[in-house]
Amino acid sequence: MRNVQVPLGNRSYAIKVGGGLLPRLGAECAQLQLGQRCAVITDSNVGKKFAKAALKSMAASGFQPVLITVPAGEKSKCMAVVEKCYDQLAAHRLERKSFIVALGGGVVGDLAGFVAATYLRGIPFVQVPTTLLAQVDSSVGGKTGVNLKAGKNLVGAFYQPQMVLCDLDALKTLPKREFISGLAEVFKYGIIYDAILFAQLERNLPKLLKREAETLAAVIARCCEIKADVVGQDETEGGLRAILNFGHTIGHAIENSSGYGKYLHGEAISIGQVAAAKLSHKLLGLLSGDAERIEKLFAQAGLPVKIKLNAAQRKKLFAAMKLDKKVSGGEIKFVLAEKIGKVCWGQKVPSDLIEQVLA
C-alpha cells in the first residue's frame, strides 16, 4: 500500500492507495478515533457492487453503519438530494461524533462531503473513491458541493476528509468509458506539474489502458502526491490551486451547456485541455510540438479532443463560460501552459481566440 500525506496542519490526512483496501475500511476508520455511528453514502450503481463489503467491514470493526443510496448520475449533485440525505441522517440519529463514508465516484464524494460539511455544522467524513477520476482528483483536497441550474459546483464548501482510501480493485470493474474519462485528470497532472510524469504516461499508455496494477498504483499515487503538494500550499484556491483547473473553464461550460450527463467530466475537460494547449501555443509560446503531444495523448487514450457546435450551441457554451467560478471582474481567466510541466493561472484570453481553437 502506498501512503501519501496531505499536509494541512491539524487537518492533515492520509491518502492510501493499494489493492484490497475496501475490506480494510473498518480497520482503517478505527484508527481515526471517530464515533461508532456512521452513514455510508453511495449511489445506486456503486452500492450494488461495494456497499455490502463496506458495511461488513465497518460492522466487523465495531461501527454501526447505515446505508444511504442516492440515484446514480450527476443529477444527484443538487440541493434536493442533499436535503434527503440530511433527513436520513437525522432519522438515524447521527450526531456530532458520527461520521460519513463517501463510497463512490466524484458525484458521491462531492455530495456526501457537502452533506458532512453542513450537517450539524460539520461532522467528519472519509472518502472511498471508486472511480479513477475520484481517486486522482475529486476525493482529495476538500472541495465539496453541488450544482445549480446556473452552473456546476456553484454551492459548496472546502471541507477536508479524515482519510482517502483508494482501493485499486474497484477500478477493475469500472466501465471502459468511465476509466478513460478518468485518464483525462491523470494527464492533467503531467501537463501542469510534472514533465517526467507526462513522458511516462506517453510511454505507458498501453499498460494504463490494460489497467495493469503496478503501473496504475504508481500513477495514481504520483497524481495524489501532486494534488497533495498543491493543496498543501493553497487549500482554498487563493492562487496556485487554480492550476488544477487546467482545461476546466471550457470543460465545465461544455458539461453545463450540453446538459449534465451528455459528456462525462473527463471527456469535457479533455476537449478543454486540448483547446487550452492550443491557446497556450498562441498566447504563451507553448511549442507547437508540445501542443501536438498533448492532443495525441488524449486522442490515443480514446478521449474526445474536439466538439462540433452550431451557432446556438456556441452561444450557449460562451454564456456558460461567463458563469464559471473562475470569472473575475467579468473576465474569463484561463490556466495556460508555458511548457509541459509548467502552467500559469489567471490568463486573459480574447473570446475570438477561444472561438478559433474550438472551431
Catalytic annotation on 16? Answer: no
| CA-to-CA separations, 250 to 110, 164, 293, 324, in angstroms, rounded | 21, 29, 20, 9
Of 152, 188, 222, 241, the residue at the interface with ligand GLY (CB under 6 A) is 241
* Residues in the chain, total: 359
For residues 98 to 137, the per-residue mask of contacts with ligand GLY, x marking binding by CB under 6 A and - elsewhere, is ---------------------------------------x
Count of residues near ligand GLY by CB under 6 A: 6
Q: Which stretch binds ligand GLY (CB under 6 A): 239-247, 300-308, 315-323, 334-342?
A: 239-247
Q: Is 225 in the site for ligand GLY (CB under 6 A)?
A: no
Q: How many CA atoms lie within 13 A of 38 on its CB side?
A: 32
> Measured between alpha carbons, how far is 156 from 168 in angstroms, rounded to an integer?
28
Catalytic annotation on 178? Answer: no
Of 55, 244, 279, 332, the residue at the interface with ligand GLY (CB under 6 A) is 244
Cell, residue 304? 474526445
Catalytic annotation on 121? Answer: yes
> Which among 265, 278, 281, 333 is annotated as catalytic?
265
Q: How far is the CB of 247 from ligand GLY (least distance, A)?
A: 11
CB 111 within 8 A of CB 81: yes
> Which among 37, 143, 152, 278 is annotated as catalytic?
143
For residues 22 to 51, the per-residue mask of contacts with ligand GLY, x marking binding by CB under 6 A and - elsewhere, is ------------------------------
Strand runs labelled E in 98-162: 99-104, 125-129, 143-148, 151-158
Residue where the block lists cell 489493492: 19
Closest to 65 (Cα-Cα) out of 86, 94, 27, 33 = 94
Label the pairing between strands 163-167 and 125-129.
Answer: parallel
Q: Which residue is nearest to ligand GLY (CB)?
A: 244
Residue where the block lists cell 477500478: 171
| Residue 16 or 143 having the CB closest to ligand GLY | 143
Q: Is 287 left (phi over 0), alpha (psi -120 to 50) or beta?
A: beta
Residues 132-151 that bind ligand GLY (CB under 6 A): 137, 141, 143
Any bridge partners for residue 125, and if so which? Answer: 100
Q: Which stretch binds ligand GLY (CB under 6 A): 172-180, 201-209, 238-246, 258-266?
A: 238-246
> Which are the catalytic amino acids?
121, 143, 185, 227, 237, 241, 245, 248, 252, 265
What does the binding site for ligand GLY look like in residue numbers (CB under 6 A)? 137, 141, 143, 241, 244-245
